Amino acid sequence: MSPSFYLERKHWRSGCRYVAGLDEAGRGCLAGPVVAAAVVLPPDANLPGLNDSKKLSPSQRNVLLPIIMREALAVGVGRCSPTEIDQLNILHASLEAMRRAVADLTLSPDVLLVDGNRAIRHPPCAQQTVIKGDAKSLSIAAASIVAKVTRDRLMVELDSDFPVYGWAIHKGYPTAVHYDALAAHGPSPHHRRSFKLVR
């Protein structure tokens, strides 16, 4: 299945002008923030090759990001730190990052298309949850790329301060290299200490 404007068109036809797709990146990581993005696309957006970020290579995502930024009517980014993740738990931190991404938009959306089956709290407008939304909605797919590239670049920056963990390579995900570094050096200030594998 390739993402399309099927869901967006339903809302456009009902009178909604701005439909924002929401997705996050980094839920399964052991370190770093969870990052979310909200993207509002126009009906005539030209985004060749746009797909769920997980189905694209890093180079493909990096090529698509500036195209999304150019074609979108608005893009918002939100994040929750490892400390906030430990306080809220990763699910609620992911939803809070999405809420912050919506608040970061430069326009007021009429409806939100939220990837997954959990709605965000205190939304500014109506919302629709979409299971596997990044494979169904172009707006959610665009948000998945913005969130993923933004977070990956942040982890590369953090790697320069903590190179022993290899974040520039695995971006904080639970890999053998990451486990070995944790065993040898213990957790950094950017690790999620509430995660069992970090403890």
Could you state, in order of their start, the residue ranges of all structural domains in the chain? 6-185
* Residue 9 clears pLDDT 80, i.e. is over it: yes
* Residue 1 clears pLDDT 80, i.e. is over it: no
The rounded Cα 189 to chain-centroid distance in angstroms is 22
Tell me if 129 sits within 8 A of 123, measured CB to CB: no
pLDDT of 54:
87
Could you please report the per-residue DSSP string of 121-169?
SS-SSEEEEETTGGGTBHHHHHHHHHHHHHHHHHHHHHHHH-GGG-HHH
Six-digit token string for 160: 């320069």
Q: Report how far residue 179's alpha carbon sits from residue 140's, in angstroms, rounded to the nearest whole number.
A: 32
The rounded Cα 144 to chain-centroid distance in angstroms is 5
Average pLDDT over residues 113-131: 96
197 band by pLDDT with thresholds 50, 70 and 90 = confident
Tell which CATH architecture fits domain 6-185: 2-Layer Sandwich (3.30)
pLDDT of 2:
84
Q: Report how far residue 88's alpha carbon sits from residue 134's, in angstroms, rounded to the nearest whole number.
A: 25
Average pLDDT over residues 45-66: 92
Residue 176 CB-density burial (10 A; 0-12 exposed, 13-18 middle, 19+ buried): exposed
pTM (predicted TM-score) = 0.96
